[in-house]
């Protein structure tokens, strides 16, 4: 399948680019080619690419992911996370290209300890989650006849860019002990697994657009940030003790959901996608980091 990706330098987009030639043709468009801060401009670029007849599907892997900065730069985050996905989805629908959009657990309020199903009520706590939710609504409203999917995921990590794994490895090398939040629970998810899931979904939609809708995909087993950090230290060979602390002891400009568990059963039923074991994904990321340093 020939897939056009919006995004190039992000964690998932980087992993999508690596799938080129592995049974798929992948082309990633970075900000220099398609700037999502100009939603209608990006939509016109999609239409132009569609007119060439090359792409068979589109994946939006670009987003404003600076959660705290979104609290003070809401207009910019809204253009990229809300207006751009809607504009791209409309353009893809007009061209009859299936469309997959990556979203987040932050559309939920994090109440309780039950995993959130795709149809659970949404109630984002901060600007980032609100902009992502509006983007979801725009994608759904486009009603793409070729098929569309919103893939919510959580706690993305890889060997690329800035993420929790790389931060913990750095701090673990500098300190003997570290305090990490222990009352936020979710599923760390390897970016590589998300990329493969997105391509699998585009293929499935091409065969059966009725599988369109909102789907969840996150790593297993669920853990806390402190639990994730301990595994990073153990696998990464860092002699750094991790102590769990409450979120109240580590205030951030944007509130984080305490419960980021996602119910992924319907995604497995529709696409055969099993939740990846994040511990195996962590091992692969650490191996790659060793090879590149």
- HEC string for the chain: CEEEEECCCCHHHHHHHCCECCCEEEEEECCCCCCCCCHHHHHHHHHHHHHCCCCCEEEECCCCCCCCHHHCCHHHHHHHHHHHHHHHHHHHHHHCCEEEEEEEHHHCCCCCCCCECCCCCCCCCCHHHHHHHHHHHHHHHCCCCCCEEEEEECCEECCCCCCHHHHHHHHHHHCCEEEEECCCEECCEEHHHHHHHHHHHHHHHHHCHHHCEEEECCCECCEEHHHHHHHHHHHHCCCCEEEEECHHHCCCCCCCCCEECECCHHHHHHHCCCCCEHHHHHHHHHHHHHHCC
Quote the mean pLDDT of the chain: 96
In a domain, 245, yes or no: no
Q: Is residue 257 part of a domain?
A: no
In a domain, 239, yes or no: no
Where residue 50 sits, what CATH number does that domain have? 3.40.50.720
Please check whether residue 173 lies inside any domain of the structure.
no
Range of the structural domain that residue 99 is part of: 2-162+189-219+262-277
Rounded Cα distance, 86 and 79, in Å: 10
Q: What percent of the chain has pLDDT over 90?
A: 97
Catalytic entry in 108, 128, 157, 228: 128
Residue 224 lies in a domain: no
Residue 182 lies inside a defined structural domain of this protein = no
Q: Is the pLDDT confidence value at 203 over 80?
A: yes
Q: pLDDT by residue (tens digit) across 67-116? A: 999 999 999 999 999 999 999 999 999 999 999 999 999 999 999 999 99
User: What pLDDT band is residue 291 in, cutting at 50, 70 and 90?
Assistant: confident
What would the pLDDT profile of 130-175 be if each residue is shown by its tens digit?
999 999 999 999 999 999 999 999 999 999 988 999 999 999 999 9
| Domain count across the chain | 1
The torsion region of residue 113 among left (phi > 0), alpha (psi -120 to 50) and beta comes to alpha
Catalytic residue status for 106:
no
Does 286 fall in a domain? no
pLDDT at 293 over 80: no
| pLDDT tens readout for residues 253-286 | 999 999 999 999 999 999 999 999 999 999 999 9
| 170 part of a folded domain | no
């Amino acid at each position: 399948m020939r897939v056009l990706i919006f995004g190039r330098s992000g964690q998932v987009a980087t992993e999508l680019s690596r799938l080129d030639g592995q049974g798929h043709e992948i082309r990633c468009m970075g900000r220099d080619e398609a700037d999502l801060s100009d939603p209608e401009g990006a939509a016109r670029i999609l239409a132009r690419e569609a007119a060439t007849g090359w792409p068979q599907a589109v994946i939006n892997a670009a987003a404003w992911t600076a959660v705290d900065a979104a609290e003070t730069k809401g207009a910019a985050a809204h253009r990229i996370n809300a207006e751009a996905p809607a504009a791209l989805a409309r353009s893809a629908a007009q061209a009859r290209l299936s469309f997959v959009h990556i979203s987040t657990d932050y559309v939920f309020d994090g109440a309780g300890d039950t995993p959130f199903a795709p149809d659970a009520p949404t109630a984002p706590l901060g600007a980032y989650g609100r902009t992502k939710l509006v983007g979801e609504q725009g994608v759904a409203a486009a009603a793409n006849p070729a098929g569309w999917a919103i893939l919510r995921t959580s706690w993305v990590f890889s060997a690329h860019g800035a993420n929790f794994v790389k931060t913990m490895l750095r701090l673990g090398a500098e300190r003997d002990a570290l305090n990490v939040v222990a009352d936020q629970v979710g599923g760390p998810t390897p970016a590589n697994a998300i990329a493969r899931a997105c391509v699998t979904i585009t293929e499935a939609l091409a065969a059966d657009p009725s599988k369109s809708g909102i789907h969840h995909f996150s790593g297993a087993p669920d853990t806390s940030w402190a639990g994730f950090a301990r595994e990073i230290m153990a696998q990464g060979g860092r002699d750094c003790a991790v102590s769990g602390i409450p979120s109240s002891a580590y205030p951030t400009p944007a509130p984080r959901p305490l419960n980021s568990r996602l119910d992924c059963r319907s995604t497995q039923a529709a696409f055969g996608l099993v939740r990846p074991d994040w511990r195996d994904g962590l091992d692969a990321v650490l191996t790659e980091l060793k090879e590149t340093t």
